[in-house]
Every structure is written in C-alpha cells, then in structure tokens.
Chains A and B, each alone.
Chain A
C-alpha cells in the first residue's frame, strides 16, 4: 500500500470547517431545544460497542459496520446508529426507574461505504426514543415533535411519509399464505423494484382478483384517499387493525396541527428491519435522500432482556443543514493588535470587551508579517501600539 498523502482521509470521512460547523451547530441547537421542551432528556453512549450486542441488534448491514478488535480479542463496532445503544441503556438501567421513558441523543454514527464519494461514512444524528409506550399517541408524538423540531430549525418545507409495516405484512400473508412468499414481495418493495414486483405477482399461482389486489397495493400512496383504497383491499382483521391504527394516528396528527406535513404511503419499507408498526421517512426539497426516518420497534428491547414497545426517530444533521440551504457565517471577532510594551493595557481592554459578550482576538503585532492580510477577516481592529495614550480604533 502506498503511504497516504497528509491531506487524505479514509473513504467517507470528512472535515467540518467553520461555516458548515456553525450551520450544523445552529440546526442541532434549535432542534435539541425543541426536543427538551417536550420533556426528553439527552444522553450519550460510547462510540465503541460490542459486535455481539449492538452489532447484532442493529439493523445496519454487516458489511457497513466498522469492526475492530480490543486487546482481549473481542470484536467491537463503531456504533452504526443510536437506537440499539439506547435500547441497551434503557433495558439495563433506566427502565427500572421510569416507564414510559423519553430519551434523546445527538451523536455521530458510523457506516462504512465502499462505493464512492458523496456519501459520508461518519455523520451526526439527532433523535429521540420513547420506550415502554405502545399507544398510538406515542407514534403521533414522534411525528408532531419531529415536525416542530424541524420547523424550529428553520426548515420551511418538508414531507413525512408514513407507512405501516404490520399492515404490509398482514396484507401479504393473507393473500400469499406463507412468510417465505411474503418476504420475496417485501424484498422487491425494499429494493424499490416495482417492475420486478409486478412481474413476480403475474407469475404467482393466484386468482386474478388476488393478483389485482397485489398490483393495486403499489398505488396505496399519495396525498388523498390512500386509507380508503387500503380498506377496500384488506379482508382479514389484522390488516384492518393496522389501518385503524393509522386512522387514529391521522386524527391525532390533526390535533397536533401537523397534518399538512404528512402523507400516507403503505408501500414504505425501511432498511431498518426492526420496525414492527408505523414507520416514516422525512424528505426535504433539494436533498436527494431522506433527511430522517423513524418508526415503532416493539421487539428490539427484547434482545436486551426487557419486553417493552418503543418508537423513535433520527434526523441526519448533515442533510438537514443541506436542506436549510442558508450557510451560517461564523461571527467575526474583533482584533486587538498590541506591541509588547502595551500588553497589559491590551489584556485589560480585551477582558472588558469579552465581559460585554464580544469575541476578541489578541495578537502581538511584532510577529505579524503582513498586518493587512492578517486583519482582513476581523470585524474591527484595535491598535495598542507605540507610546500613545489610550487604544485607538483603526
């Protein structure tokens, strides 16, 4: 292997320079303020976890995990998402104190990518988990809080598509009979391959009515009438139960006054395989990938020895910053240039300025080679040079 150049970084790793940093901080702070207002408490978990626990529980593909060995030979992973680590903390500790439990996080997660640039392998997620709460009102709270937090961050236009993996599952099982056959169709949806889906349905030994129902399933999306169309397609009770859940959710979202941001899409299948009920993705205009996703995962806590239902969401801060569009310029500090004999005066002046909340850089002028070039980025320059009395502004 050739020695990397000093500016090179591993594939998918990025530096965050001041403008992007400020944009991200601003988006993150506004979102976390809103999340706190809803009574969620922020926690941190370690970046490294055991492969056997978090790696296995996580829904991220094995080849996307960064793996390493610790000194005892255990396989570790860099956390690929935050939901599994939070489930671990909740099950091992926090659920003994309070149920339902409301937790939040803002953390970097790591997903290796082999293909090419344009997709970071390390990125920040901000999100929440509501654990031990199986009511529809918890699902509604997720989406309402999500909408409020995005609005607080300054995002004007976004869309939340809501699906129900339980409905999809029951619908497929009622027509196809076996999980094996259902999983083939689910895979086509997951791969977004509608052409393959239709061809496969045509090849199945089913009545033409059932085939038609399966084909029509792919149109159960969009702004209007999705739920009514879905009701026309289901026969068994369970499918209807899932639809009733979605109906209830829809009604509650109206009460939260966020219904203008949501639409229902029953064809939605997530790459996060642990979802069990409602699930959703968030889209914003100019960004080519979802800026966030979430849903209900009623079986994940079991893997950590606690039987509790839960729901949550995660927003990708990098994509949110891209969606906000307006880069935030860092505030330019003022500059005090001093010659050594007036250092004390300069320090005092700087201290007063800082106590007023100003950003102040102090710099010994004798080491600055090009004063014009150095001072260009400051909002104001104060000179404490030579034997003059008080500092004067340039």
Chain B
C-alpha cells in the first residue's frame, strides 16, 4: 500500500508556482513541462502520481468527491466551501488574509448595508458574528469596483499586499482571517492510502518547519 497510486489536485494560477516549487523541494520529481503545460491532467509514472490542475476554488470539491486523493487549497476556499476534507498541513505558502474594506471615512448604514464578495459564506458568517444585519452580493472578481460605483458599502476579499486596495482608494476596516495554502485529503483516501499520504505529509512538513 506504500506505493499506491495517488491523484493530487493542484490549484491553477497564482498559487500554482509556489505549490510546484514546494513539491520539488520536498523531493518530488515533477516533469519540466509541468509549469507551462496547458494539459489538465499530468501523470508522473515514476512517482506513481497523477496531477490534475483545477481552479483554486474547485480543488476541495475534487478532493471531497474523492476523484483526487489529496490537494492543495487556500484556507479562504476552505472557509467558504466548508467541504468534508481533512486539513492536514499548513503549507505556509501564498500567504494573504481575508479582510473587510471600503471607501475611507465611511460608516455602514444601519439598515441592510450591502456587502459585495467572492466569499458570500465567509462574509455572511463574519457579519453575523459581529451582530450586524447585512445583505450579501456575490461577485466573481474585481470586487474593489463595488464600493467605487456604489453597488456595496463594504467588500470582503483577500488582501496580500494591499496594493489593489490602495490604488483604488479603498481602506481596510477589519481583518477576518489569515490565509495560507493547506494540504487537504479525502477522508477515505486518508485511511485507505494512509501510508502514502502520511509519507507525503512528513516530507512536506520537514521542509516547511
């Protein structure tokens, strides 16, 4: 069982390079075409591994349904999606945080203020915990636009350097949670392919801490 075939779901885009680098540092022999391939499925036969490249938001979905055994997913996605997967390791890459932002010097109105976000669940539970009644508007990108043209009074989004906020004249009002990438595992794979997954966790843990 120690060498059972494993499928790993990788996030495309921003996080991908850091994740691939981390795996290489942990001694995984990834093919050179890995970084610029347009293929969505890549097999590494000598490692008995298969990589699937998915939208970062979808990695946990693939893992929850068991079509990928493990995956690399942002904590932001895990908070938003609340999927039934094991969160095994903080990979400490792609660090950023979830924050509330808006136009400077503004207060949110008392009656049903609008909040725009790509993370409607995170936004909704944050404001509920603050005891504030808000209405959430789901957007898919360029969230900063919403307060600028009056769609929403506040936004909930990830902030890494704060540059996008600054360039658009927005300020941060509250920090919700720190975000880094996590190694996640399907609950069944975690038990059936236990030895292999534990080995990967240990290899990665060694170079992280």
- What residues of A have a CB within 8 angstroms of the CB of B188 in the complex? 283, 287-290
Binds B, one of A193-201, A336-344, A383-391: A193-201
Q: Is the CB of A290 within 8 A of B187?
A: yes
Q: Mark B56-72, 1 if CB is under 8 A from A, else 0.
A: 00000000111100000
Partner of B194, one of A194, A195, A223, A287: A223
Q: Which of A187-237 contact B (CB under 8 A)?
A: 192-196, 199, 221-223
A194 touches B67 (CB 8 A): no
In whole angstroms, how far apart are the Cα atoms of A281 and B88 in the complex? 19
Q: Mark B179-191, 1 if CB is under 8 A from A, else 0.
A: 0001000111101
Check A58 for interface membership: any CB of B closer than 8 A: no
The residue on B at minimum CB distance from A158 is: B192
On whether the beta carbons of B64 and A288 are closer than 8 Å, the reply is: yes
Whether, in the assembled complex, B198 has its beta carbon less than 8 Å from a beta carbon of chain A, the answer is: yes
A161 to B191, CA, bound (A): 8
- Interface stretch, picked from B21-29, B79-87, B111-119, B147-155, is B79-87
The distance in angstroms between the C-alpha atoms of A118 and B62, with both chains bound, is 12
- Among A194, A283, A288, which residue has its beta carbon within 8 angstroms of that of B88? A194
B192 touches A159 (CB 8 A): yes
Give the residues in chain A near B191, CB-CB below 8 Å: 159, 161, 263, 265, 281, 283
Q: Which residue of chain A lies nearest to B90 when distances are taken between CB atoms in the complex? A: A195
Chain A, 83-123, contact with B by CB distance < 8 Å: what is the 0/1 string? 00000000000000000000000000000000000100000
Q: Is there a chain B Cβ closer than 8 Å to A325's Cβ? A: no
B-contact bits for A146-181, CB 8 A (1 contact / 0 none): 000000000000010100000000000000000000
**Interface assignment of B89: CB less than 8 Å from any CB of chain A:** yes
CB-contacts of A20-67 with B (<8 A): none
Residues in chain A near residue B195, CB distance under 8 A:
222-223
**Nearest CB in chain A: distance from B198 CB, A:** 7
Residue in B65, B66, B194 whose CB lies within 8 Å of A222: B194
Q: Does A330 contact B (CB under 8 A)?
A: no
A221, A223, A288 interface centre (most CB from chain B within 10 Å): A288
Taking CB atoms, residues of chain A closer than 8 Å to B85 are 192
Does A285 sit within 8 A of B, measured CB to CB?
yes
Contacts A118-B65, A285-B192 supplied; 6 other A-B pairs, CB < 8 Å: A194-B89, A195-B90, A199-B90, A223-B194, A283-B188, A288-B67
Q: Which residues does A use to contact B, with CB under 8 Å? A: 118, 159, 161, 192-196, 199, 221-223, 263, 265, 281, 283, 285-290
